[in-house]
Amino acid sequence: MMKRNRMKRRLKFILPILFFLLLEGAVLTAASLPFTSVRVEGRMPVTEIFRVEQNDAALDFNLSASRNSIIRVGSYTLVSNNTISKFRLAIRPGEDGNQERFAFTLDEGEPLPQGQASEIPFTVRVSSNISRAVSVAGQQAMEKDLGVRGAYGNNDAILYETGDILAEIPDFDPDLYATGWYSAAIQLSIEVI
C-alpha cells in the first residue's frame, strides 16, 4: 500500500510538467516568427593550398617508344581565400633545382659505351586549365604567376588555378643513346610576391 502512494505522488508531479511542455510547444509552433530575414556575419581564416599530384604512369615508361610525344608528369592546384595574396611558381631542373636544363640522365651504374650520349634534353610545359591563367614552357628554369581571381565560382575573393605539368619528349635517335634506365627530376616551389 505504501508503494502505491509513492507512485501516485510521482505521477501527479510528472504529469503537470509534461502537459506544460506540450502546451508550450503548441503555442510556439502556432505563432508566426517575429522576423523575416536572418543575417549572419563571420570571418573565415585565411586558407592557402598548393597541391601537386604526380601521375603514376610518368614514374616508369619506355623512353624510346615515347619519342615525339607529351607525357603528363602531374597536376597542380592552388586555392587561396586571402584577398591580397599573389603567388609565383618556380619550375627548376633537377632534384635540387640547380641543373642547367631539363633532361633525362642515364642512371649511375648503367654502362655507357664509348660514343653514346647519356642525357636527353626535354621541354617542360606548365599548362593551366583556367582561362586568363598564363602557361609557360622551356628547357631551362622558369617562373610563372599563379592564380586567377574570379575563376572559382565567380568569387573575386578567391585566387584559384589548376593545371598540368607536362614533359615534351623530342624525336631523338635512340641509336645515339646508351641503353638503360634514365631519370629526370623537376623541382616546383611556390613563393608569395
Work out the number of other CB atoms within 10 angstroms of the CB of residue 57.
10
pLDDT at 6: 45
Report yes or no: 180 and 110 within 8 Å, Cβ to Cβ.
Answer: yes
CATH code for the domain defined by 48-192: 2.60.40
Spans of the chain, pLDDT less than 50: 1-28
The pLDDT of residue 5: 46
Dmax over Cα atoms in the chain, in whole Å? 113
| pLDDT computed for residue 1 by the predictor | 46
User: Residue 115 corresponds to which amino acid?
Assistant: G
Contact 82, 187 (CB under 8 A): no
